[in-house]
């Protein structure tokens, strides 16, 4: 069995960490990226091909030339707020681009796919204490819609093409490689932890807290924060599972911790780790922000034998702070 994995979007935040984890697990990783948001200095694969998702012919050639057995697909536009303002690029890249990839896989006879999905497919499922994969898909923005559409496409491709797929639904990816080889470098940055760190570094005047009157212990939103290195190991576990089971199907699996942290708790953790105080501005709620979003992580443990091991808040902040301090 080939140990060659194509990492589409492997120059990005989660893709670069997953490439490192694949190599450490004995896989050969081929990175495919158009560098619209990725970085060349974190391409850790055995080979690098610059190309776009829409180039079906090139993808087919890469799959054949490198004897690819499995594909991990990260290449997506991810900013939910921006997707509301400009939805067409999200559907063009995230949905049409994935169709191009699936066409290439079918032409090359590659059947195994690990798809980067999102907890955004659940929408505002506030009635559930933990978000389970058994809940219906009910996204509330075009970004979540685009990911849910791809999950539907994958389910449709199972019987027709024999696709074996796992859709990994991430919760709040954060942190950085413990050795400082990669970390968060989004432009613009919209994720909470790097924004707080920027405030602590003096790169921004303050950190804004949107809503302090939620029905939570301290009034701020609670989210499930998952260390990017744990996410990377989840992808390795998913590829390994697909290679071992050889069963056509599409399985949705949450990657989260099952524990939530509030915005205030994250702010306090950054203060502790950095030793720096900074201004916090309390603002009104943002539309569409649920009070609590926490994963039911049992299926990942049962199916993949995976669970988060590096995702305590102190470790996440320490690794993120070390990377941000190194690269500032």
Q: Give the whole-angstrom CA distance, residue 262 versus residue 248.
A: 39
The pTM of the full predicted model, rounded to 2 decimals, is 0.95
State which fold the 192-224+258-327 domain adopts: UDP-galactose 4-epimerase; domain 1 (3.90.25)
**According to the 3-state scheme, what is the secondary structure of 159-193?**
HHHCCEEEEEEECEEECCCCCCCCCCCCCCCCCHH
Give the residue-averaged pLDDT of 194-215: 96
pLDDT mean over 322-328? 87
Looking at the chain, which residues constitute the CATH 3.90.25.10 domain(s)?
Answer: 192-224+258-327
Give residue 109's region: left, alpha or beta (phi > 0; psi -120 to 50). Answer: left
The pLDDT confidence band at residue 59, using thresholds 50, 70 and 90, is: very high
Q: Is 323 a catalytic residue?
A: no
Question: What is the mean predicted confidence (pLDDT) over 302-310?
Answer: 97
Helices (H), the chain: 13-24, 56-65, 80-85, 87-90, 97-108, 142-161, 192-200, 228-245, 263-274, 298-299, 313-327
Round to whole Å and give the CA distance between 160 and 163: 8
The pLDDT tens digits for 37-46 are: 999 999 999 9
Which letter, b or e, does each residue of 106-132 get, where b requires 16 or more Cβ atoms within 10 Å of its Cβ?
A: bebebbbbbbbbbbbbbbebeeeebbb
- With a cut of 80, say whether residue 328 has pLDDT above it: no
DSSP state of 300: I
* Mean per-residue pLDDT, 205-232: 96
pLDDT at residue number 13: 96
Please, are residues 50 and 113 in contact by the beta-carbon 8 Å criterion?
no
**Per-residue model confidence as pLDDT tens digits over 101-133:** 999 999 999 999 999 999 999 987 766 679 999
Instruction: Give me the pLDDT at residue 274, please.
Output: 96
* Per-residue pLDDT at 206 exceeds 90: yes
Average pLDDT, integer, range 265-289: 93
DSSP 3-state of 293: strand
Q: Residue 126: what pLDDT? A: 66
User: Do 64 and 1 contact (CB within 8 A), yes or no?
Assistant: no
Across all residues in the chain, what is the average pLDDT? 94
Q: What local confidence, expressed as pLDDT, does residue 178 receive?
A: 96
- pLDDT of 186 reads 84
119: left (phi over 0), alpha (psi -120 to 50) or beta: alpha
Residue-level pLDDT at 281: 97
Provide the percentage of residues in the chain whose pLDDT is more than 70: 98
Q: For residue 230, is pLDDT > 90?
A: yes
Q: 143, 170, 214, 323: which is the annotated catalytic residue?
A: 143
The label of the residue with tokens 């613009």 reads: 188
Q: Would the pLDDT of 176 be above 80?
A: yes
pLDDT value of residue 127: 67
Q: Provide CATH 3.40.50.720 ranges for the chain.
A: 4-174+226-255
Q: In the prediction, which pLDDT does 246 show?
A: 79
Higher-scoring residue by pLDDT: 142, 81: 142
Q: What is the pLDDT averaged over residues 225-253?
A: 95
CATH superfamily assigned to domain 4-174+226-255? NAD(P)-binding Rossmann-like Domain (3.40.50.720)
Structure tokens at 256: 């989260």
In which band, very low, low, confident or very high, does the pLDDT at 1 lie, cut at 50, 70 and 90?
low
pLDDT of 125 reads: 72
Contact 252, 167 (CB under 8 A): yes
């Amino acid at each position: 069995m080939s140990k060659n994995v194509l990492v589409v979007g492997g120059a990005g935040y989660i893709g670069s960490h997953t490439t490192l984890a694949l190599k450490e697990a004995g896989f050969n990783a081929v990175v495919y990226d158009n560098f619209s948001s990725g970085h060349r200095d974190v391409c850790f694969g055995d080979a690098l091909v610059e190309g776009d998702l829409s180039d079906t012919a090139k993808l087919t050639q890469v799959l054949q030339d490198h004897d690819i057995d499995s594909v991990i697909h990260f290449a997506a536009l991810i900013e939910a707020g921006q997707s509301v303002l400009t939805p067409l690029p999200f559907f063009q890249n995230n949905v049409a681009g994935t169709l191009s990839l699936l066409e290439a896989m079918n032409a090359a006879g590659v059947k195994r796919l690990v798809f980067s999905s999102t907890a955004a497919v659940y929408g505002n499922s506030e009635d559930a204490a933990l978000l389970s994969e058994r809940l219906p898909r009910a996204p509330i923005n075009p970004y979540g819609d685009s990911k849910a559409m791809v999950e539907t496409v994958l389910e449709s491709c199972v019987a027709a093409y024999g696709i074996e797929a796992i859709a990994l639904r991430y919760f709040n990816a954060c942190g950085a490689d413990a050795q400082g080889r990669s970390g968060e470098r989004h432009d613009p940055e919209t994720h909470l932890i790097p924004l707080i760190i920027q405030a602590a570094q003096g790169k921004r005047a303050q950190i804004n807290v949107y809503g302090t009157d939620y029905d939570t212990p301290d009034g701020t939103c609670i989210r499930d924060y998952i260390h990017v290195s744990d996410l990377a190991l989840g992808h390795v576990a998913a590829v390994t599972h697909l290679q071992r089971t050889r069963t056509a199907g599409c399985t949705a699996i949450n990657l989260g911790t099952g524990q939530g942290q509030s915005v205030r708790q994250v702010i306090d953790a950054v203060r502790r780790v950095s030793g720096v105080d900074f201004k916090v501005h309390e603002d009104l709620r943002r539309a569409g922000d649920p009070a609590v979003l926490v994963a039911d992580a049992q299926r990942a443990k049962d199916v993949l034998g995976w669970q988060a091991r590096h995702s305590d808040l102190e470790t996440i902040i320490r690794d993120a702070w070390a990377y941000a301090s190194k690269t500032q």
